[in-house]
Structure 1
Amino acid sequence: MSEHQILVLDPTGSDPDAEHQALRERGPATRVDILGVHAWSVSDPALLKQLLTSKDVSKDGRAHWPAFAETVPTWPLALWVAVENMFTAYGADHTRLRRMVAPALSARRTAALQADIERFVTSILDDLDTLPADTVVDLREHLAYPLPIAVIGQLMGVPADQRVEFRTVVDNVFATHLTAEEQAANTACLYGLLDDLIETKRTAPGDDMTSLLIATRDDEGDGSTLSDAELRDTLLLMISAGYETTVNVIDQALTTLLSDPAQLAHVRDGRCTWQDIVEETLRYEPAVKHLPLRYALTDFTLPGGQTIRSGDAILASYAAANRHPDLHHQDADRFDATRTTKEHLAFGHGVHFCLGAPLARLEVATALHLFFERFPDAQLATGREELRRLPSLISNGHDSVPVRLRPTTTN
């Protein structure tokens, strides 16, 4: 394929719908440039499922990406491929690391968090309820952000006075408009916070996942469970994935319901549930648009005759795949909470399916239900088309979601 055919992905994520449409029009997979790195963007859901579950596709760039050593020092997304946790593990290492994290996100433990989640949301809404009528509130800042931070902070034992700092550096991990130097500085800051958290929990352990992982690591001591790097990077994964993605789903669900009264009417009139709203949001506007990177261990011949070569990087383009006509016919670009089939890949697929999916679903459904119960007449304070996208080709949310909670006049 000639160089001019490579599609350069917009690092600011300014028009994702058009970009995802362009990807689908190029076939099941196409060559893209992601901040200077060439990869195969896969937008066909069937092919993506095949590659996500194939033993011939790895997430371990150190072992299976020939360009790893020369790319990492200067690539703004270096952290995404250089961390040492189950996000970049392959084979037995992935199984080992996933097994250690799974208990923290079990169905039993997630269900046990429901009362806490309801308490967190109610407290947030109580604060909003004190504001004067017709006040414009940024619901990304004052609902979508604080809930996941509180939940993951409790689960992982992050002290309350450290959560704002973690939020800032995690946001920057997803900000693909930053330079390699800015990202390197952010990574150093992030690891400093993680090292402080580990030291705090070693000194004064609590009933949280961070303390449990540290105890497992320290009790074994021989590296058979977690290396020091894996411990730190596993905490990084759980805190960042458990926070940023849920923020975006709450953001997108609120934005959709406030700009499309018919969808809100569906749930109010019993034609669908809050869970249906969550699933359609995950399909229509998944929290993550593209997820870097995976690597081919063998050649894959595509339906159109092109070949993903062994050693090539692969980009999972979840947002484009979720609106593929093969999944949802010709109405894939329409939000419909009553659609019978809401199949999506927002949480991945197969052995890499997100362990935190049940927790995220519970958080979003609870936030929506309690918010619209408290503020049934809430309105977007601007047109949806005027909302600014986050400057990211990974994270799928808005810069802000301005809302009038109790409008004094009907727009």
Structure 2
Amino acid sequence: MEITPQDGTFVIDPAGRDIHGEGARMRARGPAAKVQLPGGVEAWGVNDLSLLRLLLTDSRVSKDPHRHWPTWINGEISPESPLFVWLVVTNMLTAYGEDHRRLRRLISSAFTTRRTAALRPRIEKIVTELLDGFEALEPGLPVDLREEYAYPLPIAVICELFGIDDEAARDEMRRCVGTFFNTDAEPDEAAAAYPRMLELLGALIAEKRENPGDDLSSALIAARDDDSRLSEEELVGSLMLFIGAGHETTVNLLDNAIYALLTRPDQLALVRSGRVGWDDVVEETLRAESPIANLPLRFAVEDIALDDGVTLRKGDAILSCYAAAGRDPRVHGDDADRFDVTRANKEHIAFGHGVHHCLGAPLARLEAMIALPALFDRYPGLTLAAEPGELRPLASFISNGHRSLPVHLTAG
């Protein structure tokens, strides 16, 4: 249910119970709608695909709260806020101008296309092992594919990529990242997750300095230690960004794609017939069910006048509403809410746009293009083990997925 304060600002539900409904209601208020985030934080919810593209490439829009957001500068965001961790870190996600260009050059030099492509055999092996593991399960019992398939694959890949071998550390990092995305978490839980993640990353960095390997953690540490182009704070923040974003988005992509095909058998039939490819499934899922629904935050460096008469004032916060933009009827027509793998225009910005476009997008797509056909080939009779309306969304206005995805694994 929409909650509206007396000034007409749209209140975003921190529990993420109706992300697409909220997106539609924001669009009805205009391409940029005033929204209220947890803690009474006000922002502009930009939901129009064209406008969002423009702002994401506008030099008058910053990601750095330390320089461009009075609310942060004045100490008004506490560690208990679900927004805190998205603002306090120093990495590509929060950098602006030359700092961002420097960090992106350093990171992209390590996170190369060659390194991503070389992961294909390992991804295929992990997928096969996960599917083989299902064979030992008791027949007839439901399996939570989010927990047992969508999660383990990207976590295994990102941890191997960054040389995180300690299973206990992997599990703790996953719990911390889950709390970062849980925007309805208890304040004490939210406040504890960030310092714990810092401890885990500090231990990883110390171990890699002592025993460097052929992994991205070691490569970033070498960039830091060789010529100090990367500060210690930036090193920690960059590792946090890649480990967190490196699996959460892919988990949601797999979760949403599987759900979409199981609830729309006509669409699955099109894929199985060969009329459309798995790339169509991936891109339509990214459009209709953006893994990141709303990304906090950007900031107006100076006043920005929009075409509809709205002016973003210097220091105003901007919420990038990727899920709403993916269903923009001005781009995708009156059926923008419908999942359709045959849709000619699957335009989306689920991985961001411009200088902040996600470096891990090719890896997420690669994982999905391997994991989805392998699952449906192994279990052509796969069905949901619950009614669609029984599945609960994640408790988040940032992350878009299900808390669980129960299925029956039927071979035929």
TM-score greater than 0.5 by the shorter chain = yes
Is the contact made by 1:76 and 1:181 (CA closer than 8 Å) also made in structure 2?
A: no
Hey, what does 1:257 align to over in structure 2? 261
> C-alpha distance in 1, partners of 2:375/2:95?
39
Hey, what does 2:8 align to over in structure 1? 5
Deviation at 1:340, TM superposition (A): 1.2
Q: Do residues 22 (structure 1) and 28 (structure 2) align?
A: no
Deviations, residues 229-284 of structure 1 (Å, cap 9, x unaligned)? 00000000010010111101110001111111111111111111111100000001
Is the contact made by 1:9 and 1:19 (CA closer than 8 Å) also made in structure 2?
A: yes
Is the contact made by 2:90 and 2:234 (CA closer than 8 Å) also made in structure 1?
A: yes
Hey, what does 1:154 align to over in structure 2? 160
> C-alpha distance in 2, partners of 1:219/1:111?
27
Q: Do residues 39 (structure 1) and 43 (structure 2) align?
A: yes
Q: Percent identity?
A: 51
Deviation at 1:79, TM superposition (A): 1.1
Hey, what does 2:342 align to over in structure 1? 338
Deviation at 1:2, TM superposition (A): 8.5
> C-alpha distance in 2, partners of 1:181/1:137?
32
> C-alpha distance in 2, partners of 1:216/1:407?
49
Is the contact made by 2:250 and 2:368 (CA closer than 8 Å) also made in structure 1?
A: yes
Contiguous gaps of at least 5 residues in structure 2: none
> C-alpha distance in 1, partners of 2:370/2:219?
28
Hey, what does 2:195 align to over in structure 1? 188
Deviation at 1:3, TM superposition (A): 4.6
> C-alpha distance in 2, partners of 1:407/1:111?
30
TM-score, scaled relative to structure 2? 0.96
Contiguous gaps of at least 5 residues in structure 1: none
Is the contact made by 2:383 and 2:407 (CA closer than 8 Å) also made in structure 1?
A: yes
Hey, what does 1:100 align to over in structure 2? 106
> C-alpha distance in 2, partners of 1:347/1:364?
14
> C-alpha distance in 2, partners of 1:160/1:104?
22
Q: Do residues 306 (structure 1) and 310 (structure 2) align?
A: yes
Is the contact made by 2:380 and 2:411 (CA closer than 8 Å) also made in structure 1?
A: no
Hey, what does 1:130 align to over in structure 2? 136
Deviations, residues 13-68 of structure 1 (Å, cap 9, x unaligned)? 01112111101111110110110210000001111111100000000110011111
CA distance 1:2–1:154, shift in 2 (3 Å): closer
> C-alpha distance in 2, partners of 1:372/1:41?
37
> C-alpha distance in 1, partners of 2:153/2:349?
24
Alignment of 1:214-233 (within 5 A): 214-220=221-227, 223=228, 225-233=229-237
1:377 aligned to 358, 361, 381, which one?
Answer: 381
> C-alpha distance in 2, partners of 1:273/1:103?
31
Alignment of 1:387-402 (within 5 A): 387-402=391-406
Q: Bigger CA drift: 178-187 or 140-149?
A: 178-187
Alignment of 1:37-116 (within 5 A): 37-69=41-73, 70-73=75-78, 75-116=81-122
Superposition misfits of 4+ residues, deviation over 3 angstroms: none
> C-alpha distance in 2, partners of 1:180/1:56?
33
> C-alpha distance in 2, partners of 1:76/1:249?
23
Is the contact made by 1:144 and 1:248 (CA closer than 8 Å) also made in structure 2?
A: yes
CA distance 1:386–1:2, shift in 2 (3 Å): closer
Alignment-mate amino acid for residue 355 of structure 1: L
Deviations, residues 258-311 of structure 1 (Å, cap 9, x unaligned)? 111111111111111111100000001011000000000121223332211011
Hey, what does 1:236 align to over in structure 2? 240
TM-score, scaled relative to structure 1? 0.96
Q: Bigger CA drift: 177-186 or 235-244?
A: 177-186
SS in structure 2 opposite 1:399? coil
CA distance 1:407–1:208, shift in 2 (3 Å): closer
Deviation at 1:180, TM superposition (A): 3.7
Alignment-mate amino acid for residue 95 of structure 1: R
Is the contact made by 2:5 and 2:11 (CA closer than 8 Å) also made in structure 1?
A: no
> C-alpha distance in 1, partners of 2:155/2:364?
12
Say what the alpha-carbon RMSD is for the aligned residues: 1.4
Deviation at 1:76, TM superposition (A): 2.6
May I ask how many residue pairs the two structures share in their alignment?
A: 405
1:198 aligned to 181, 201, 205, which one?
Answer: 205
